[in-house]
Amino acid sequence: MNAATKRRRDDTGTASLRTQAILETAAKLICAKGYAATGMQEIAEACGLTKAGLYHYIESKENLLLAIMSYGMDLFEEQVLLQVVGIEDPVERLKACMAKNVTLVTRGWSKEITIILHEHATLTGAAGKQINARKKRYVRFLESSVQEAIDRGLVRKVDPTVAAYAFLGTVLWVYKWFLPEGKLSDEQVADGMIDLFFKGLEVR
Amino acid sequence: MNAATKRRRDDTGTASLRTQAILETAAKLICAKGYAATGMQEIAEACGLTKAGLYHYIESKENLLLAIMSYGMDLFEEQVLLQVVGIEDPVERLKACMAKNVTLVTRGWSKEITIILHEHATLTGAAGKQINARKKRYVRFLESSVQEAIDRGLVRKVDPTVAAYAFLGTVLWVYKWFLPEGKLSDEQVADGMIDLFFKGLEVR
DNA sequence: GAGCTCTTACCGACCGGTTGGTAGGTCACA
DNA sequence: TGTGACCTACCAACCGGTCGGTAAGAGCTC
């Protein structure tokens, strides 16, 4: 009796469910060690598969990374963007967006987000373009929200592009230093950053 | 006549000069491809050496990265920290610091800085601790400058730690998106960010 | 200035191990 | 009788690193 017969098959389980699990396991490893430093063998073993078995589900290493990042972008859009696009007041919209974004990064639920942030130049060619386009949409959303706030006289006049990237830097850099067991809670960080950033935008 | 005899020896040139050149060449490659994805062979060839020849100058790959990062930290401390520590007014000190820091990142002179920012978790053990300690000193410098500004009544009361990390995020995230040929000049970015960040700190 | 030694700066060849990826087979289940 | 799931065995290329060797110069002695 070999490993194949010992291991329980996932019978009726949809194939995509298994693929999802593989993505999550791979994400955990890649998040911890970096894309280039993580071997396919390692990922396969963590999934309870051989390397060849893993390749039954994925096409290539690069494709695996793309799948992880795409899933991460889905997650981000669902947990951040979709939650705030409906808010009518552009300032409140941006504030809510910052809060959601900070907690998305601090709560380590989604290793995929960290991977997207860290491996920002790893994917090249068509795959890279695909992810970049989705990121760009977020930047544009921020820029236009800032512009809207300016037009409505809700905030003073600033460069929307600089504001958008300052917003992003403030919020996303968090992944490099935040520790859940540190002296600052994620709410404190989020509140503090919202206070800092939006006090700088107020009309006097 | 083989490659060895054809190649000119660096006779009287100090050994450290050659090492310096190797560090710079290696930094360029690692900056472009990432530490894990850059091979020693590749670095050696870019230096006009064989791999064994390269190992005449360095101890190991990890050590090479440490040397690059240490040099980057030297550069940073010399071009940013040393230029501003003497400024008496803490707000002016922080403003100057932000300006210097932005231009250090935007002007691609120093690939070493980008490597320090990107490979923030690559070095482990004693080497990692060494670099981390120097980074930590910068955070503390920012925190205490903010605290000093608060104590003197120059800015409103905020959490110095959150302010320091917001400062860093704003300034350092730049390495992920800034392009010299983009629509924003580095001065525009620096000025815009200083305006945004410090307007958020002013006393009302 | 010939002869000697010591040092620096490298090179070609090689090490054990790992890389991403694949061909071809086996097995359970429908 | 498929078909999807998964395996063993294997590939060429590459990994970081080391080995013994060597050409060229520096410094000293006689």
Domain at B123, CATH number: 1.10.357.10
| A202 lies in some domain | yes
pLDDT-derived band at B2 (thresholds 50, 70, 90) equals very low
Q: Mark whether A129 and A155 lie in a shared domain.
A: yes
Instruction: Tell me, yes or no, if B120 comes closer than 8 A to chain A by beta carbon.
Output: yes
CB B149 within 8 A of CB B92: no
CB A72 within 8 A of CB A115: yes
- State the CATH number of the domain containing residue A34: 1.10.10.60
CB A175 within 8 A of CB A117: yes
Q: Mark whether B47 and B124 lie in a shared domain.
A: no
Q: Mark whether B164 and B103 lie in a shared domain.
A: yes
Rounded to a whole number, what is the distance in angstroms from the first to the last CA of chain B? Answer: 77
Query: Span B22-44, mean pLDDT?
Result: 96
Instruction: Tell me, yes or no, if A141 comes closer than 8 A to chain B by beta carbon.
Output: no
Q: Mark whether A109 and A199 lie in a shared domain.
A: yes
Tens digits of per-residue pLDDT, A146-191?
A: 999 999 999 999 999 999 999 999 999 999 999 999 999 999 999 9
Query: Between A and B, how many CB-CB pairs are < 8 A?
Result: 105
Residues from chain A contacting residue B188 (CB–CB below 8 Å)? 159, 162
**Which residue carries 């080497």 as its tokens?**
B127
Distance A37 CA to C30 C1' (A): 41
| A181 lies in some domain | yes
What is the C-alpha radius of gyration for chain A, rounded to an integer number of angstroms? 20
Rounded to a whole number, what is the distance in angstroms from the first to the last CA of chain A? Answer: 77
Nucleotides on strand C lying under 7 Å from protein C-beta: 8-14, 18-24, 26-30
- CA separation, residue A136 to residues A73, A111, B112 (Å): 12, 21, 27
Q: Mark whether A120 and A38 lie in a shared domain.
A: no
Distance (Å, rounded) from C-alpha B48 to C-alpha B50?
Answer: 7
Partner-chain residue, chosen from B120, B159, B196, that has the shortest CB–CB distance to A166? B196
Whether CB of B1 is under 7 Å from strand C: the answer is: no
Partner-chain residue, chosen from A170, A183, A196, that has the shortest CB–CB distance to B158? A196
Residues spanned by the domain of A82: 69-204
Nucleotides on strand D lying under 7 Å from protein C-beta: 4-10, 14-20, 23-26
Q: Which residues contact A46 (CB under 8 A, 6 or more apart)?
A: A25, A26, A28, A29
Lookup: tokens for B2? 């083989």
pLDDT-derived band at A108 (thresholds 50, 70, 90) equals confident
Lookup: tokens for B178? 């800034």
If one compares B144 and B18, the residue with the highest pLDDT of the two is B144
Whether CB of B60 is under 7 Å from strand D: the answer is: yes
Whether CB of A178 is under 7 Å from strand C: the answer is: no
With CB atoms and an 8 Å threshold, state whether B169 touches A165: no
> Which pLDDT score, from 0 to 100, does residue A109 have?
83
Q: Mark whether B6 and B101 lie in a shared domain.
A: no
Query: Span A5-13, mean pLDDT?
Result: 37
Distance (Å, rounded) from C-alpha A34 to C-alpha A118?
Answer: 8
The domain tally of chain B equals 2
pLDDT-derived band at A132 (thresholds 50, 70, 90) equals very high
**Shortest CA distance from A135: residue in chain B:** B177
Q: Mark whether A172 and A117 lie in a shared domain.
A: yes
Residues from chain A contacting residue B156 (CB–CB below 8 Å)? 199
Nearest nucleotide (C1') to the CA of residue B57? C9
- With H, G, I as helix, E, B as strand and everything else as coil, classify residue A202: strand
- With H, G, I as helix, E, B as strand and everything else as coil, classify residue A85: coil
Q: What mean pLDDT value characterizes chain A?
A: 90
| A6 lies in some domain | no
* Axis crossing angle, helix A61-76 with helix A15-33, rounded to the nearest 10: 90
Distance (Å, rounded) from C-alpha B41 to C-alpha B52?
Answer: 9
Say yes or no to pLDDT of B153 above 70.
Answer: yes
The torsion of the CA quartet B149, B152, B153, B159, rounded to 10 degrees, works out to 40
> Which pLDDT score, from 0 to 100, does residue B5 have?
31
Query: In angstroms, what separates the C-alpha of A37 from chain B's closest C-alpha?
Result: 6
pLDDT-derived band at B110 (thresholds 50, 70, 90) equals confident
Q: Mark whether A16 and A99 lie in a shared domain.
A: no
* Cα B160 from chain centre: 23
CA angle A120/A113/A101 to nearest 5° reads 110
pLDDT-derived band at A12 (thresholds 50, 70, 90) equals very low
| A2 lies in some domain | no
Distance (Å, rounded) from C-alpha B29 to C-alpha A131?
Answer: 24
Q: Mark whether B33 and B68 lie in a shared domain.
A: no
Distance A3 CA to C28 C1' (A): 14
Q: Mark whether A144 and A180 lie in a shared domain.
A: yes
Q: Mark whether A35 and A132 lie in a shared domain.
A: no
Lookup: tokens for A145? 């929200």
Tens digits of per-residue pLDDT, B161-181?
A: 999 999 999 999 999 999 999
With CB atoms and an 8 Å threshold, state whether B169 touches A169: yes
pLDDT-derived band at A53 (thresholds 50, 70, 90) equals very high
Distance (Å, rounded) from C-alpha B175 to C-alpha B113?
Answer: 9
Q: Mark whether A89 and A186 lie in a shared domain.
A: yes
